[in-house]
Amino acid sequence: MEKPDVVPVEIAPGVRIALTGFVRGVSKATRWFASSVASAFRTRRPLALLVVAIVLLVVVPFVLKATGSWPFRPRIYGVNISSTVDTLMRFRAERFLASRPDFEYVSEKPDILLCSQPTKGFNTTLVVAECPVEVHAGEKEITLMNKHECMLSYRERDKAVDEMEKYLRVCGDTPDVTFTAIGDILPARTVIKMMDLHGVNYPFERAAPYVRGADIVCGDLECPLSDRYEPPTEGMYLLAPSETINGLKLLGLNLVTLANNHSSNFGEDAFTDTLDLLKANSLEYVGGGMDRAEAYSPKYRDVRGLRFGFLDYNAIIGALDATDASPGVANIHLWPSFDDDPEDIEMVTDEIVEAKREADFLVVFFHWGKEYQQHPLDSVKQVAHKACDAGADLIIGTHPHCIQTIERYGNKFIFYSLGNFVFDQMTEEKTRTGIIVKLALQGAMISEINIIPYMIHDYCQPIVFEGNTGQYVLDEVLEISEL
């Protein structure tokens, strides 16, 4: 076989001289260093030995690392986390990656994969974390066990994989994050009369110590706050004066939901007044906005390393629907105000999927259902389950004017209705009783649920039951619930 012709490379004379000088210099320096080392060891001169040691232990490694030639680099494990992984497992895996410089997230060719099913080409271990949820309902204490699991898949098992598995199996080693929710706040009609008599804080002051103080405190604001019009004291079109914001602040609210059938009762002007008032008082809102993009968009809040996401939807007739060019709320069509709309339900689940990508713990609020019934409609339950399957970690409902079922769905909780909070419906006991829900979370997991009952007095004022006098309300709640 003939050898291919070798084409000589032309080197400019100046470059040739420089290269020759560099090679000679390196050769001379190498011979000097070798001679110095030999001389240092022959004569045992301490200073010379120290110089040699510094060169070998400091200079040489520095040069090798700087040039990418260091042969002792630690192994970096590439990890991928499937979007279908359990919320708690995902949260803990991300925490683990953030704490370990030898692990990094990769989108392709991972060494370790967290997923919900075994993966071809990987060895797989089922990781299970059994985490207690303590439910406090007055005198009754219930311990529920939530099981969180995922598949830990790896190409080879070593100490690093063992450490990751051990970390994933632990439920609660992060600080508690607290969350409080209350039901419908309607400071209108007769409530306005009572505020005129006793002051704007009167409806809120007795319940405030039980509500405020959590990291996140939320409630459903079911009327606009504006001084543009005279607030009516009867009827179904509701409005409250702007000073009512002081009562909301007394409760310690830092998030209000606006997707309901009364928040836009007095049209666009009063509704935008409400938005401006909430912003001016640093009170976050969700479910409403200056246009469709804002009304339907999730809101996020970071609390001690845990990122909450919030979405809010109204399914009751009578609200302004936010459009691309006009303010309003996030409306969907569900029974009984409308026939269930499959496209709306699909839109909600799609938005939940997207919001969950950015949130460790996603709360979805719905204003829905049939009034004065203690059990949710089957169609409402189906929507709630679809929302949980799409990524909602907690669902809170309002509108029925009474307490409804609490359901445990997998590892998630659905509060179908918390009941009236500040309201003037005094006709029967179920419209006067409600519950404050206080949650503690460790990581992305609910670890404690405290249910506090109250009775509305004087056409406006929720008062928490003293001692065990409200136990009968809690017993009824537990009886109709599915825990």
Report the distance separating Cα 137 and Cα 475, nearest Å.
Answer: 8
For the purposes of burial, counting CB atoms within 10 Å of the CB of 71, is it exposed (0-12), middle (13-18) or buried (19 or more)? exposed
Quick one: pLDDT at residue 3?
Answer: 47
Quick one: pLDDT at residue 432?
Answer: 97
Looking at the chain, the domain(s) classified CATH 3.60.21.10 span 176-480
Which residues in 139-206 belong to E strands, given as ranges? Answer: 140-154, 176-185
176-480 CATH choice from 3.40.50.2300, 3.20.20.70, 3.40.50.970, 3.60.21.10: 3.60.21.10
CB 212 within 8 A of CB 252: yes
CB 242 within 8 A of CB 227: yes
**In sequence order, which ranges of 44-86 are alpha helices (DSSP H)?**
46-54, 60-66
Looking at the chain, the domain(s) classified CATH 3.40.190.10 span 77-129+148-168
User: Is the backbone peptide bond immediately before 4 cis, with ω within 30 degrees of 0?
Assistant: no
Phi, psi of 177 (to 5 degrees): -115, 135
Report the distance separating Cα 415 and Cα 396, nearest Å.
Answer: 5
Task: List 178's β-bridge partners, or say none.
Answer: 440
Per-residue pLDDT of the chain (483 residues), as tens digits, is: 444 444 454 555 554 555 565 556 556 666 666 666 566 566 655 665 556 566 655 655 565 555 555 455 567 888 999 888 888 888 888 888 888 888 888 988 898 999 988 888 899 999 998 889 999 999 999 999 999 999 999 988 888 889 999 999 887 666 689 999 999 999 999 999 999 999 999 999 999 999 999 999 999 999 999 999 999 988 999 999 999 999 999 999 999 999 999 999 999 999 999 999 999 999 999 999 999 999 999 999 999 989 999 999 999 999 999 999 999 999 999 999 999 999 999 999 999 999 999 999 999 999 999 999 999 999 999 999 999 999 999 999 999 999 999 999 999 999 999 999 999 999 999 999 999 999 999 888 999 999 999 999 999 999 999 999 999 999 999 999 999
77-129+148-168: CATH superfamily: Periplasmic binding protein-like II (3.40.190.10)
In order of 267, 278, 334, the CA distances from 283 in angstroms are: 21, 5, 29
How far from the centroid of its chain's Cα atoms is residue 414's Cα? 16
**Rounded to two decimals, what is the model's pTM?**
0.83
Report the distance separating Cα 257 and Cα 283, nearest Å.
Answer: 11
